[in-house]
C-alpha cells in the first residue's frame, strides 16, 4: 500500500509540473496571438493601396492585359503550403495537411502534375516522409515574420507561373477566425481573378502611369501576388498561436482534473492504510488480554 501511495504522490507532482508548463505556454501563446493580430492589421493599408492601384489598371476598359490575369489550360499546378515550425498546436497542421493530400488525390493523377513550395518545418517533414515533390522550402521563421522571410518562396512560385512552369498556383494555409476557430483553406492565387480586382466600389483616385500602365502592371502584379502570400503567412501565424493557446488551455484544465482525481485516490488509499493500522493495533491489544 505504501508503495502504491508513493507512486500516486509522484504522479501528482509530475502532473503539477506539467500543468505549470502548459499554463505558461498558454499565456505566452496569448501574448504572441495579440502581436500576430496587430501585425496582420498593420499590413492591410499597404495591401489595400496596392490592390487599389492594380484595380485602377485592371479595370481600365479591357485595354490592359497581363499573363497573370489570363487563364490557360492546366498542365502543372503549384501549391504554396504554410505550416508552423513547432507543434503543440492541436490539429492545426494535421488538418491542413490532410486536406492538402486529399486535394492531391482528387485533382492529380501523378506527382508529376504538381510541385509544392513549403513554409514551415511541420509541412516539410510531413510531405518529405510521404515522398511529395518539394520545389522550395523555408523553415525557422520567427514569431513575427517579415516579408523578406517568405519572399524566396513567394517569388519562386510567382516567377514559375510567369515563365509557364505552372499554369495555376494555390495558397494552402489556416484562415484565422478567432482563438477557437481556424479554417484549413486552399485558395487560388494565380491566375489572379480580374473580377475580384476590377470594379472597386466608391471613389477612386485617377492615376497617371509612367512609362505606361502596362509597365506598371508588370511590376505591381507580381508584388501583389507576393503580398497575398505574406497575408496568408500572417493569418497562419495568428492561427498557430490561437490554436496553441486553446490546446494548452485544454491541457491545463485536463491536468487540473487529473490532479483532483489522483488526490482523491491518494486520500482514499491513505485513509485505508490508517484504518488498517488502527485495526491491527486493536487486534494486537485484544490478543494480549
59 pLDDT higher than 70: no
Q: Between these two residues, 212 and 61, which has the higher pLDDT value?
A: 212
Q: Answer for the pair 35, 28: CB distance below 8 angstroms, yes or no.
A: no
Which tens digit of pLDDT belongs to each residue from 165-211? 999 999 999 999 888 899 999 999 888 876 665 544 544 556 677 77
pTM of the model: 0.83
Given the DSSP bridges, would you call strands 168-178 and 77-82 parallel, antiparallel or unpaired?
parallel
pLDDT of residue 203: 47
Q: What is the mean pLDDT of the chain?
A: 86
Residue spans of the domains in the chain: they are: 28-246
Average pLDDT on 76-105 reads: 93
Residues belonging to the chain: 289
Q: In the block, which residue shows the cell 487599389?
A: 52
Average pLDDT on 13-19 reads: 94
Q: Answer for the pair 145, 233: CB distance below 8 angstroms, yes or no.
A: yes
Which tens digit of pLDDT belongs to each residue from 91-143? 999 999 999 999 999 999 999 999 999 999 999 999 999 999 899 999 999 98
Q: Answer for the pair 252, 23: CB distance below 8 angstroms, yes or no.
A: yes
**% of the chain surpassing 70 pLDDT:** 91
Backbone angles phi and psi of 235, in degrees to 5: -60, -45
Q: Return the ∠ at Cα 207 (arms to 206 and 209), rounded to 5°.
A: 155
Which tens digit of pLDDT belongs to each residue from 22-42? 999 999 999 999 999 888 888
pLDDT of residue 60: 60
Which tens digit of pLDDT belongs to each residue from 235-266? 999 999 999 999 999 999 999 999 999 999 99
Average pLDDT on 63-71 reads: 73
In CATH, the number for domain 28-246 is 3.40.1380.10
Distance between CA atoms of residues 268 and 288, nearest Å: 31
pLDDT of residue 254: 95
Amino acid at each position: 500500500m505504501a508503495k502504491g501511495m508513493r507512486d500516486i504522490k509522484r504522479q501528482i507532482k509530475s502532473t503539477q509540473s506539467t500543468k505549470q508548463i502548459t499554463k505558461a505556454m498558454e499565456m505566452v501563446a496569448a501574448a504572441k496571438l495579440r502581436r500576430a493580430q496587430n501585425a496582420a492589421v498593420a499590413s492591410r493599408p499597404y495591401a489595400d493601396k496596392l490592390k487599389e492601384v492594380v484595380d485602377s489598371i485592371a479595370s481600365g476598359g479591357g485595354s490592359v492585359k497581363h499573363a497573370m490575369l489570363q487563364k490557360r489550360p492546366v498542365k502543372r499546378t503549384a501549391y504554396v503550403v504554410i505550416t508552423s515550425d513547432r507543434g503543440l498546436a492541436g490539429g492545426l497542421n494535421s488538418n491542413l495537411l490532410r486536406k492538402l493530400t486529399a486535394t492531391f488525390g482528387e485533382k492529380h493523377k501523378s506527382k508529376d502534375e504538381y510541385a509544392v513550395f513549403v513554409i514551415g518545418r511541420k509541412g516539410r517533414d510531413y510531405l518529405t516522409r510521404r515522398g511529395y515533390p518539394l520545389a522550395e522550402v523555408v523553415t525557422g521563421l520567427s514569431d513575427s515574420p517579415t516579408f523578406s522571410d517568405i519572399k524566396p518562396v513567394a517569388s519562386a512560385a510567382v516567377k514559375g507561373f510567369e515563365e509557364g512552369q505552372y499554369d495555376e498556383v494555390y495558397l494552402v494555409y489556416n484562415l484565422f477566425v478567432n482563438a477557437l476557430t481556424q479554417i484549413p483553406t486552399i485558395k487560388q492565387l494565380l491566375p489572379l481573378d480580374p473580377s475580384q480586382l476590377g470594379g472597386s466600389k466608391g471613389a477612386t483616385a485617377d492615376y497617371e502611369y509612367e512609362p505606361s500602365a502596362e509597365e506598371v502592371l508588370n511590376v505591381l502584379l507580381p508584388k501583389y501576388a507576393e503580398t497575398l502570400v505574406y497575408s496568408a503567412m500572417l493569418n497562419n501565424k495568428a492561427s498557430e498561436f490561437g490554436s496553441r493557446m486553446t490546446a494548452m488551455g485544454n491541457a491545463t484544465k485536463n491536468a487540473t482534473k487529473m490532479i483532483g482525481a489522483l488526490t482523491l485516490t491518494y486520500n482514499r488509499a491513505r485513509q485505508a492504510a490508517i484504518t488498517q493500522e488502527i485495526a491491527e493495533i486493536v487486534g494486537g491489544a485484544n490478543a494480549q488480554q
